[in-house]
Structure 1
Amino acid sequence: MNHQRRYPLVLLTIAIGAGVAVLDQGTKWWAESNLSTGERVPLLGDLLGLQLAYNPGAAFSLGTDATWIFTIISAVAVAAAIWFTLRVRTVLWAIVIGCLGGAVTSHLGDRLLRPPSFGQGHVVDFIAYGNWFIGNIADIFIVGGMLTVALLTATSPDRDTAEAPQ
C-alpha cells in the first residue's frame, strides 16, 4: 500500500488514540473530583462499583515496588503503537491500534506526571469489579484491544497490520 493511501488510516488511528486518551484522563479527573479514596459506590450491588484507588503496580496491583519498570514498559508500548500506526493497512487494525495506543499513552502519562514523582506516578483506578480488582477506562481498551488482536491474528493470519520492513 502506498503512503498516500495509508495516510487517512494513520489519521484515523491517531484520532482514535487521542479520543481514548482524553476519555481515560477525563474519567480519571471525574473520579478524583467526585470519589473518596477507598470509599465504594455500588452500581450493580457487589458486582460492579466505583472506588478510587491509586495503583503503583500493574494489573491486580502486581509489582507495586517496581513502578519505574511499568513506566519503561508503558514507554515501549507507546513506541510500538507509533510504529504500528505508521504502518497500518486496514480500518479495523487502525481502530485496534488507536485504542491500544491511546490507552497505553494515557497510562504512560499517569506514570510520568502523577504523584509521587516523575516516572514513579500511580495510575488512577476507579472501576471496581467485585472484590477482584479496580481498573479504569484505559484498562478496558487494553484488554479489549489485545483480545481483538488475538482474534484478528488467529482468524486472518494472511492479513497483517503493517508492511514488512524494507
Structure 2
Amino acid sequence: MSTEQTSTPDTADAGPDTPAVQPKRRVALVAGVAVVALAADVLTKVLALSEWEGREPVRALGGLVYFQIVRNPGAAFSLATGMTWILAIGAVVVAGAIIWLSRRLRSAGWAVGLGLVLAGALGNLTDRIFRAPGLLRGHVIDFISLFSPNGEAWPVFNVADSCICVGAALIVVLSVLGKDYDGSSSRSGKAAKA
C-alpha cells in the first residue's frame, strides 16, 4: 500500500515555473522596479531643488533640454490645477490597483511597466503629501523642459512623470502585441481558435 503525495505550489521543492513561484517573482520585480525608480525620482528632485531653485532655466544639450524648478499644483499640461487632493486620491487608487494586480502577474514586461507606473504615481503622491502648501495639496516638483524654457514647447516634467509615460507605453505595446499580464498571448489564443 503506497501513500500518494500531493504537491501544492507552496511546497519547498516547487520549481521556478510553478503557479505560486512565478507570481511571487513578478511581485518582487514590480516592487524592485518601483523602489529603484521612486528613489531616482526623489533623489533627482532633491538635487534639482538644491541646484536650480530660484535660478533662470539652465540650458543643456544645445537647447534640447532646459532645467528649471516649477512647482506644479495640477497634473500634466497644468490640467486640474486646484484639484490636487483629487489627483492624490487618484494616485492612491492607481497604486492600490497595481499592487492588487501584481499578485496575478506572470509577464515580466507587464511587471516592469506596472512597476514604473507605480513609482511615478508614488513619486508625485509623495510631493502632494509632503510639500507646501499642505497635506494632499502639495505642489509637485517638475524640473525638465524639452526644446524651450518655461514649458513653452513641452510641459515641464520630472522623473515620476517619465516613469508613468514609459510604463504606460510599455503596457500598451505589450497589449498591442497580444501579451497579457497573466503571461498568455491573446494572438496565439486567437490563432488556436481559428
User: Structure 1 residues 83 and 133, CA, compared in 2 at 3 Å: closer, same or farther?
Assistant: same
Q: Does the 8 Å contact 2:70/2:142 carry over to 1? A: yes
Letter in 1 for 2:138: G
Letter in 1 for 2:42: Q
Aligned to 2:168: 146
Deviations 1:115-149 (A, max 9, x none): 11001111100001222210001111111111111
Pairwise CA distance, 1:161: 1.2
Q: Which runs of 5+ in 1 are unaligned?
A: none
Pairwise CA distance, 1:150: 1.2
Pairwise CA distance, 1:46: 3.7
Pairwise CA distance, 1:162: 4.0
- Distance in 2 separating the partners of 1:46 and 1:7: 45
- Distance in 2 separating the partners of 1:24 and 1:71: 17
Aligned to 1:123: 140
Q: Does the 8 Å contact 1:37/1:53 carry over to 2? A: no
Pairwise CA distance, 1:37: 3.6
Pairwise CA distance, 1:108: 1.1
Q: Which runs of 5+ in 2 are unaligned?
A: 1-17, 184-194
Pairwise CA distance, 1:107: 1.1
- Distance in 1 separating the partners of 2:38 and 2:27: 16
Aligned to 2:180: 160
Runs of 4+ in structure 1 off by over 6 angstroms are none
Aligned to 1:3: 20
Deviations 1:29-83 (A, max 9, x none): 0011111246200013443110111101000111211111111111111111211
- Distance in 1 separating the partners of 2:172 and 2:22: 26
RMSD after superposition: 1.6
- Helix, strand or coil at the partner of 2:134: coil
- Distance in 1 separating the partners of 2:131 and 2:53: 17
1:87 to 83, 86, 104: 104
- Counting aligned pairs with the same residue, the percent is 34
- Helix, strand or coil at the partner of 1:121: coil
Letter in 1 for 2:20: H
Aligned to 1:137: 159
Letter in 1 for 2:64: L
Q: Does the 8 Å contact 2:110/2:170 carry over to 1? A: no
Relative to the length of structure 1, the TM-score reads: 0.90
Letter in 2 for 1:160: D
Number of equivalent positions: 161
Q: Does the 8 Å contact 2:115/2:167 carry over to 1? A: no
Aligned to 2:42: 25
- Helix, strand or coil at the partner of 2:156: strand
Which structure carries more strand by proportion?
Answer: 1
